[in-house]
Amino acid sequence: MKITSKFHNLESSFITRINPLIEEFNAINLAEGFTGFHCSPKLIELVEKHLREGLNQFSSSFGEISLRQKLADKIQSLYDRCYNPETEITITAGVAQAVYTAIGALVKEGDEVIVLEPANEYYTPAIEMNGGQVVTVPMSGPNYHIEWEMVQQRISSKTRMIIINSPHAPTGWAMSEIDMIRLQKMINGTKIIILSEETFEHILFDGHLHQSIACFPKLAEQSVLVASFGEAYDVTGWQVGYCVAPEEITKEFRQVHEAMVYSVNSPFQLALADFLEDKDEYKKLATFYQSLRDKFRKMMSASRFKAMDCFGTFFQLFDYSRICEDKDKDFVIRLIKEVGVATMPISAFVKERNGRHQLRMNFAKPDEVLEEAARRLSSL
């Protein structure tokens, strides 16, 4: 039986398409979106503890209350905003599910959603699969920033949502307090909802502070905050994330969440709740990753790649225009085959055509992996 695709415009992510090539050439993988480190032994012990206790039944559809309470406490401590763990925090199966669920709950057929590009690969599919229309706004400048005048011009009577991501996974950029104030002013008096992905909230460099939507009262009233535990604690494969939003928005979110996944595995939730007792864990992340970033940039200084600004995340953009004029996706494939290093092209995060000669590299790897990758890339 031949099936006509319901979503003929959707295609696999670029990393999915190049994974067989990475395996074939046994390439060092700086393209992937997760760390190359083992998680804390303490966290493993906590999971084992809850498994041995037999806590393997369905959790509440909204997540284990102990984990929701720890999140509420953390947000209150960091951003001085109180969210009710009973009615305003939901545990999800990772951040991508949280994004999809928020869009599925809040975006109707024909609604427009503004996406700032480059953007995470799962934003556009989630919008299109739920009948929304993607309205792209390109970020500007060689190191990327948001032109708010351009965003304002793209807002229409159909605009339902604006998606922001800071620290910004595709580029390493981070929003400033002025950016957030301008966004807050822009949506004041409208029914536009902000979907804010803040997965890398603890990984910021050079004195930059995370500007969460939770810090801005009027903005928070019409915003959905989503994030993941995976990147911070080296457990991306556990697929545990969360959504934080005002009660009325959360009601809509939970209807879709319950129908989609019902609940997230309970032992891992309970382990993360216990692990969050140690508030020093996430405080170490910025220093650790800034040190890695600086080391990797120094390793790459012998190459013809030019490092771009990187304010956060564990991704570093490099410009390769001094090496060749190849299109970025073609150059990525060439690097896998010729030097055995896999990277991500910036065009993988852009719906519209992109002519920049930039690659994103994941530096969340052991020193010896980064050293070998830099040695190979410096041979070009």
Predicted confidence (pLDDT) per residue in 225-239, tens digit = 999 999 988 898 889
Domain that holds residue 209: 42-280
pLDDT, tens only, 236-275: 888 999 999 999 999 999 999 999 998 898 999 999 999 9
Mean per-residue pLDDT for 1-14? 69
Q: Could you please report the per-residue DSSP string of 284-302?
A: THHHHHHHHHHHHHHHGGG
Q: Are 174 and 166 in contact (CB under 8 A)?
A: yes
Residues 287 and 254 in one domain: no
Residue 214 lies in a domain: yes
Domain total in the chain: 2
Does residue 9 belong to any structural domain of this protein?
no
Range 293-312 average pLDDT: 97
Are 250 and 153 within one domain? yes
N- to C-terminal Cα distance for the chain?
49
Is 3 part of any domain?
no
327 and 195 share a domain? no
Q: Tell me, yes or no, whether 241 and 177 share the same domain.
A: yes
The answer to whether residues 23 and 172 belong to one domain is no
Last residue of a domain, one of 280, 302, 322: 280
Q: Enumerate the H helices of 25-143 as residue ranges.
A: 41-52, 65-79, 95-106, 123-129
Residue that finishes a domain, picked among 280, 314, 331: 280
Residues 182 and 253 in one domain: yes
> Rounded CA gap, 244 and 233, in Å?
19
| Residues 190-218: tens digit of each pLDDT | 999 999 999 999 999 999 999 999 999 99
Q: Single out the residue in 280, 315, 332 at which a domain terminates.
A: 280
Residues 154 and 170 in one domain: yes
Residue 69 lies in a domain: yes
7 domain residue, yes or no = no
233 belongs to a structural domain? yes
What mean pLDDT is predicted for residues 106-130?
95
Same domain, 165 and 215: yes
**332 and 266 together in one domain:** no
Average pLDDT in the chain? 93
Q: Please check whether residues 344 and 223 belong to one and the same domain.
A: no
Whether 1 maps to a domain, the answer reads no
Please tell me whether residues 261 and 294 are part of one structural domain.
no
Please check whether residue 5 lies inside any domain of the structure: no
| Whether residues 208 and 65 fall in one domain | yes
CB environment 352-366: b (16+ within 10 A), e (fewer): eebebbbbbbbbbbe
Give pTM, 2 decimals. Answer: 0.94
CATH number of the domain residue 261 falls in: 3.40.640.10
By mean pLDDT, which of 96-100, 255-259, 314-318, 353-357 is the weakest?
Answer: 353-357
**pLDDT tops 90 at residue 355:** no
Token pair of 304, please?
């013809």
Q: Is 93 exposed, middle or buried (0-12, 13-18, 19+ CB in 10 A)?
A: buried
Residue scoring higher pLDDT (282 or 346): 346
CATH no. for residue 288?
3.90.1150.10
